[in-house]
Amino acid sequence: MTSPVQKAVDDPLFGRGYRATLLVLILLVSAFAYVDRVIIQTLAEPIKKDLGLSDFQFGLLGGLAFAILYSTLGLPIARLAERRDRVTIISVSVAVFSLMSLLCGMATNIWALFLCRIGVGIGEAGVQAPCTSLIGDHFPPHRRGFALTVMRLGAPVGALMGSVVAAWLAQDHGWRVALMLVCAPGLVVALLFRLLLRDPPRGHSDGLAGGNVAAPAATPPRTREVFAQMFRRPAFRHMLAGLALASMALFAGGAFTAPFFMRVHELPLTTTAFYVAIISTTASTAGMSLGGFGIDFIARRGRRWYALLPFCGIATSVPLYLAGYGLDNHVAAVTLITLAGVFLFFHSVPTLVAFQNMVAPQQRTTAAFVYFFVSTMVGVGFGPPLLGLLSDLFATASGVTDAAAASAIGVRSALLASIGLYAWAALHYGLAARAIAAEERP
């Protein structure tokens, strides 16, 4: 008898070569989507000085400006992707956010840049959730951890491009040229995605797992029915809360990592960009790989591991972050913050896989939307502005008259305060693990 794994390999509709091409293109799409976030963070100080921005204003540019329409349009696009060609939706979206990123480099004031960042959010609204659903219909449940990890590894690839490459270009040519040159190739990726891929039938991969899969409904269920089905489960609610809190601290910290090293440790832009690249790429690559590839194996011991693995990782990251932001030696700080990030990213892929496995095939794009809505609207939208506001308040409250010293105190204090969100997130993942264990009891 053919095993489920063999069936997954011997897919009669999509061969190994095609699925490898799919994963490479999805990884590139995710990379360019992440470039648009990291590059603004890396070039924070040059942009702030050129446009005369405060930390709070920069936090709005790096967070809320992007998240407003990303989150608003994410649901209707996700629902459209339940019914229409996902490949077309994704390729058009990549073209839109790449073009708007080019226009960011032409902005001459905060309002022009704010509007361009909104445009970037519009484009990215049609990327992550449809890509997740597309993977769900190419790979059976026991292979989704692997496939979704490849997709999520676009983040460290994008971080490398948006930090080291952007800083190198900005050093000689300015932040505007760096922004435009790094983001332009996304237009080529959009074209290749449309020409080389096709949209599979909904629920196609579920039949490859060796079980009897019900045929998808003629039309997807209503949005509120999907939401009601997910939110009825305590495990889902706790995992969603943990994701929201971890994302808020993660993106807040990411937006101010470069300012932290430039202000507190007084490092130049190129050295800072190198450190940011080390932290971003190492932490996300190692953390998501260990968490994503590992969950396919460890979840065989019970579904509670979809929440228990994130709990262990996030809880371990808390003392490491506290030491990393508190030490005055920049090498020790980079080492500890990177190690903390590795453990933190244990939550990323297992949470996404858990949400995909909780729903039917024609509900996966909506489930993915919930994941990316919360991580983006709460994380990207509110994390950086709130941390920027805290930084300004701590700087003022310090009573230090020297502006540079006060800003260093402000950003360090704000980052230390944000670590409490990680402890809170770990608590929710622990409660989610208990809820899943309760569901598994006969």
Contact between 235 and 18 under an 8 Å Cβ cutoff? The reply is no
Contact between 418 and 246 under an 8 Å Cβ cutoff? The reply is no
Report phi then psi at 222, rounded to 5: -65, 155
Structure tokens at 396: 């003022």
Residues of the chain with pLDDT under 70: 1-13, 62-66, 205-220, 442
Structure tokens at 344: 């933190």
| Gap between the Cα atoms of 288 and 290, Å rounded | 6
| Gap between the Cα atoms of 136 and 147, Å rounded | 9
Query: Whats the size of the chain, residue-wise?
Result: 442
For the chain, which domains are there?
A: 15-204+222-440 (1.20.1250.20)
Question: What's the angle, vertex CA 419, arms to CA 418 and CA 425, rounded to 5?
Answer: 105
> Residue 377 has what DSSP assignment?
I
Task: Look at residue 63 in the predicted model and tell me its pLDDT.
Answer: 63
The string of pLDDT tens digits covering residues 100-135 is 888 888 888 888 888 888 888 888 888 888 898 888
Task: Look at residue 9 in the predicted model and tell me its pLDDT.
Answer: 44
The string of pLDDT tens digits covering residues 27-40 is 999 998 888 777 87
| Gap between the Cα atoms of 370 and 358, Å rounded | 12
| Gap between the Cα atoms of 360 and 82, Å rounded | 11
Tell me the C-alpha to C-alpha distance, in Å, between residue 311 and each of 76, 242, 249. Answer: 32, 9, 15
Put residue 268 in one of left, alpha, beta given phi > 0 → left and psi -120 to 50 → alpha: beta
- 331 three-state secondary structure: helix
Contact between 205 and 140 under an 8 Å Cβ cutoff? The reply is yes
Contact between 428 and 245 under an 8 Å Cβ cutoff? The reply is yes
